[in-house]
């Protein structure tokens, strides 16, 4: 076989992986490992200094470190993409029909409430720790869909759609939680300015403006106002995305084109950079005994136990009482495995942990332990359950 053809043949699996659902999850796993290695290596001080040292100059006093620029500015792009996905699903996707959205909305709500309840039960008695009740309530879409991608066509299409929809509804819930429960002191002037800018974006939408640049300028202005208002700046990303028109007056798609343009940079730059900046936990500083501390235990239990109990339990009840049938063609073991995968809470959980304990860096480090341990266990168990469930359904070969 000629050398060029041999190289193309050898590269084909890698190219297929790059465009598959699994790649996003594998990339995040790699980034998390690199961050942990960096935080526990001879370059740990350099790693920490890179993200947390005060910048020599910044245009906004509130963003005086690279870590803050990533979490408050760059992650606004992540939330903007979340907003685009949410609007598309509500207008024309899986959440557009009231009957089809019953089950994922119920499952997502239970999948947030039960982990939060378990967290509060384990962390009971410490008012400071209870601020992190929402940490195990989140599901990481890229990670969860990445594991599903590794299983290929062994997982029914209906179950893939169910997981994706639950994760999107979960994101809506997480955004609301951040806006309502993790907001600092409010600056009324900047908040009024935010409302006025939002009104301008809505007016652009109602007027049928077909160019994108006015919306981008408006989104940037909204982010700046929200940044100074006391509400977390990334909420501006979601709100601005909801004002993007689905299509221009001539019928050409608009929102979908913006979403497609941002999916790649978001998945392969924004989220991995956030992961690398936030997942690095100094194990030597905490010690292995820290895994048994109340905060990591509460988060880990919420992710591993709470997610599967909330999601699988709600699906079982909904199916039993006739409120909504379970996903077509999916067995109960497969639903269990999918519920377990929802316990992967990497991106949003790390984000909420930083908001929950802004003045307590040691608690943020402990929260990372719980998030990484709980997400890893959920991913491995979810994969194993789905793999075994598929094998059992197929029967012995």
pLDDT tens for the chain, residues 1 to 397 = 555 554 454 444 434 434 455 677 788 889 999 999 999 999 999 999 999 999 999 999 999 999 999 999 999 999 999 999 999 999 988 888 888 889 999 999 999 999 999 999 999 878 899 999 999 998 888 888 888 888 877 888 889 889 989 988 998 899 899 988 988 778 999 999 999 999 999 999 999 999 999 999 999 999 999 999 988 888 999 999 999 999 998 889 999 999 999 999 998 999 999 999 999 998 877 766 777 889 999 999 999 999 999 999 999 999 999 999 999 889 999 999 999 999 999 889 999 999 999 889 999 999 999 999 999 999 999 999 999 987 655 444 3
d(CA 225, CA 189): 9
- Look up the pTM and report it: 0.86
CATH number, domain at 388?
1.20.1530.10
Whole-number Cα distances in Å, 215 to 20, 87, 113, 358: 31, 16, 35, 32
For residue 86, being part of any structural domain is answered with yes
d(CA 330, CA 61): 52
Give pLDDT, residue 244: 97
For residue 221, being part of any structural domain is answered with no
Contact between 119 and 136 (Cβ < 8 Å): yes
For residue 292, being part of any structural domain is answered with yes
Contact between 46 and 206 (Cβ < 8 Å): no
Give pLDDT, residue 392: 54
Task: List beta partners, residue 247.
Answer: 253
User: Nearest 5°: phi and psi at 253?
Assistant: -65, 140
For residue 386, being part of any structural domain is answered with yes
Q: How many domains does the chain have?
A: 1
Whole-number Cα distances in Å, 86 to 18, 106, 290: 25, 16, 37
Contact between 314 and 105 (Cβ < 8 Å): no
For residue 41, being part of any structural domain is answered with no
d(CA 5, CA 45): 46
Using the structure block, give the residue that is written with the tokens 């909504």.
324
Going along the chain, which residue ranges are E strands?
A: none
Question: Token pair for residue 32?
Answer: 């998390």
The closest alpha carbon to 82, from 158, 157, 152, 179, belongs to: 179
Give pLDDT, residue 57: 95
d(CA 137, CA 127): 18
d(CA 118, CA 65): 34
The closest alpha carbon to 335, from 203, 96, 158, belongs to: 158
Say how many residues make up the chain.
Answer: 397
Helix (H) or strand (E) run with residue 14 in it: helix 3-18
For residue 214, being part of any structural domain is answered with no
For residue 225, being part of any structural domain is answered with no
Give pLDDT, residue 352: 94
For residue 337, being part of any structural domain is answered with yes
Range of the structural domain that residue 344 is part of:
64-183+232-394
């Amino acid at each position: 076989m000629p050398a060029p053809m041999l190289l193309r043949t050898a590269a084909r699996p890698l190219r297929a992986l790059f465009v598959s659902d699994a790649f996003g999850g594998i990339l995040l796993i790699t980034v998390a490992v690199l961050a942990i290695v960096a935080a526990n290596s001879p370059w740990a001080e350099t790693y920490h200094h890179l993200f947390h040292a005060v910048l020599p100059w910044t245009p906004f006093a509130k963003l005086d470190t690279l870590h803050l620029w990533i979490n408050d500015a760059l992650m606004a792009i992540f939330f903007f993409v979340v907003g685009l996905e949410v609007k598309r699903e509500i207008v024309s996707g899986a959440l557009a029909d009231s009957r089809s959205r019953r089950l994922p909305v119920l499952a997502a709500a239970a999948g947030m409430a039960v982990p939060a309840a378990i967290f509060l039960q384990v962390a009971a008695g410490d008012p400071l720790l209870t601020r992190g009740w929402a940490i195990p309530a989140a599901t990481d879409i890229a990670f969860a869909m990445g594991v599903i991608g590794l299983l290929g066509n062994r997982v029914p299409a209906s179950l893939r759609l169910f997981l994706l929809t639950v994760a999107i509804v979960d994101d809506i819930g997480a955004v609301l939680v951040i806006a309502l429960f993790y907001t600092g002191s409010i600056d009324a002037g900047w908040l009024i300015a935010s409302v006025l800018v939002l009104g301008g974006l809505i007016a652009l939408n109602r007027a049928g403006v077909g160019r994108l640049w006015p919306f981008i300028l408006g989104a940037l202005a909204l982010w700046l106002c929200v940044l100074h208002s006391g509400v977390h700046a990334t909420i501006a990303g979601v709100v601005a995305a909801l004002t993007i028109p689905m299509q221009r007056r001539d019928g050409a798609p608009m929102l979908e084109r913006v979403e497609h343009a941002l999916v790649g940079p978001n998945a392969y730059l924004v989220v991995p950079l956030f992961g690398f900046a936030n997942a690095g936990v100094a194990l030597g500083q905490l010690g292995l005994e820290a895994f048994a501390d109340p905060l990591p235990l509460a988060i880990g239990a919420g992710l591993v136990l709470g997610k599967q109990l909330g999601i699988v339990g709600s699906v079982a009840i909904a199916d039993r009482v006739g409120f909504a049938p379970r996903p077509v063609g999916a067995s109960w073991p497969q639903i269990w495995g999918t519920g377990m995968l929802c316990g992967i809470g990497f991106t949003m959980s790390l984000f909420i942990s930083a908001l929950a304990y802004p003045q307590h860096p040691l608690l943020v480090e402990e929260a990372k332990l719980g998030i990484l341990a709980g997400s890893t266990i959920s991913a491995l168990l979810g994969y194993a359950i789905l793999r075994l469930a598929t094998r059992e359904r197929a029967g012995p070969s």
